[in-house]
Amino acid sequence: MTTFGERLTAATATRGPLCVGIDPHPGLLDAWDLPRTVAGLERFAMTAVEALGPEVAVIKPQSAFFEAFGSAGVAVLEKVLAGCREAGALVLLDAKRGDIGSTMAAYAAAYLTDDSPLAADALTVSPYLGFGSLRPALDAAAVSGRGLFVLALTSNPEGPELQHAVAGERSVAQTIADHAAAENAGASPLGSVGLVVGATIGRTGVDLSAVNGPLLAPGIGAQGATAADLRTVFGDDLSAVLPTTSREVLGAGPDVAALRAAARKSVDQVQAALG
C-alpha cells in the first residue's frame, strides 16, 4: 500500500503542484447558463471532471454545494469522486468534518474507508475540538493509505481570534502544526497529514518547517492571492506547498478546452512561483 503522501508527491511531480476545486456555486451555474437544479449541478460537475481529471494533480470538490441538493446532490458527488479517480487525479474532499468519539469515527468510515461510495484520497478536517478528537480519522486514514488536511491558518477574518490565541506558550495554530509534525515523523518523501494554510494571510508567525506534510494553500486567483504571495506566507521552502484555486479556473467554463487551458496556465504560474 502506498501512502497518500507518496501518491501526492508522484502526482505533483507528473502533473504539477496544483489543486483545483469543483465548487458548484449558484453564481457559477448561472455563469455557465445552467439551471440551479440537480441536472445543472451534474452537468457542471461532470464537465469539470472531464476537463480537469486528466490534467491536474488534485481535484477538490466542495461537499457543501452538493449537499445543498439533498440526496440527489450527494449522488452527484459520488459520481465526481469516481470520475476523478478514473481520470487519474487524486481527490481531496473538502468537507471540513470535526467531531468527537463515535461521530468522528462515523465520518472517518464515510470518507476514509475503501468500501464507502464517498471515499476520497484525502479529507479536510477541523481540529477545533482538540487535535486528539481527530484520532478516529487519523487512524482510518493511516490504515487505508489516505490523507487528511487539518485546518490550521485559514483566510477568513474571524480565524485569527482562535488560531492565534495562545495556549500555554504556543499559539493554537502552532500547536496544531506541532501535532501534525508528530503524526508525520519519519515519513518519506512526505507525510499524509497536511495543513490548510491560506495563501492570503501574509506572515503567520507559525513555524511550519517541521510539519513534513503537504501544505494546502487556498486563495490563489479570485480570492486575491497570487502565486508570488506564497513565499510571503511559507518562506523560501515551498517544496510541500500545494496551491489551490477554484473560480479562477472554473470561470473559464463551460468549454472543456478553455477549462483545461486555464488549469495549465495556473500550473505554469505556481510552478514559476514555487521554483
User: Percent of the chain at pLDDT above 70?
Assistant: 99
Model pLDDT for residues 30-41, shown as the tens digit of each residue:
999 999 999 999
DSSP-derived pairing of the beta strands 19-22 and 122-125: unpaired
Calculate the average pLDDT of the chain: 95
Which band of pLDDT confidence, cut at 50, 70 and 90, is reported for residue 232? confident
Mean pLDDT of the region 8-22 = 97
Q: Domain containing 236: what range?
A: 4-274
Alpha-carbon span 13 to 7, nearest angstrom:
10
Q: How would you label 76-101 residue by residue, b for 16+ Cβ within 10 Å and e otherwise?
A: bbeebbebbbebebbbbbbbbbbbee
**Beta carbons of 196 and 176 less than 8 angstroms apart:** no
Model pLDDT for residues 48-82, shown as the tens digit of each residue:
999 999 999 999 999 999 999 999 999 999 999 99
The pLDDT value given to residue 237:
86
Query: CA distances (Å), 119 to each of 55, 61, 79, in order?
Result: 21, 12, 11
pLDDT for residue 224 is more than 80: no
* CATH code of the domain covering residue 243: 3.20.20.70
Q: How many CA atoms lie within 13 A of 150 on its CB side?
A: 33
Which band of pLDDT confidence, cut at 50, 70 and 90, is reported for residue 222? low
Model pLDDT for residues 3-14, shown as the tens digit of each residue:
999 999 999 999
Model pLDDT for residues 161-171, shown as the tens digit of each residue:
999 999 889 99
Mean pLDDT of the region 246-257 = 96
Model pLDDT for residues 98-145, shown as the tens digit of each residue:
999 999 999 999 999 999 999 999 999 999 999 999 999 999 999 999
Mean pLDDT of the region 229-247 = 90
C-alpha cell at 22: 469543483
Amino acid in position 120: A
Q: Is the peptide bond before 17 cis (omega within 30 degrees of 0)?
A: no
Model pLDDT for residues 171-203, shown as the tens digit of each residue:
999 999 999 999 999 999 999 999 999 998 888
Residues contacting residue 21 through CB under 8 Å, at least 6 positions apart: 59, 60, 61, 62, 94, 218, 244, 245, 246, 250
C-alpha cell at 233: 506566507
Total domains, the chain: 1
pLDDT for residue 265 is more than 90: yes
Alpha-carbon span 243 to 267, nearest angstrom:
9
| Cα–chain center distance at 123 | 7
Question: What positions carry a catalytic annotation?
Answer: 96
Q: Is the peptide bond before 189 cis (omega within 30 degrees of 0)?
A: yes
C-alpha cell at 193: 497529514
Alpha-carbon span 33 to 13, nearest angstrom:
36
The pLDDT value given to residue 188:
97
Torsion angles phi and psi, residue 214, rounded to 5: -70, 145
Query: CA distances (Å), 134 to each of 150, 193, 227, 262, in order?
Result: 9, 11, 31, 36
Higher per-residue confidence, 264 vs 226 = 264
**Beta carbons of 233 and 197 less than 8 angstroms apart:** yes
The number of residues making up the chain comes to 275
pLDDT for residue 227 is more than 80: no
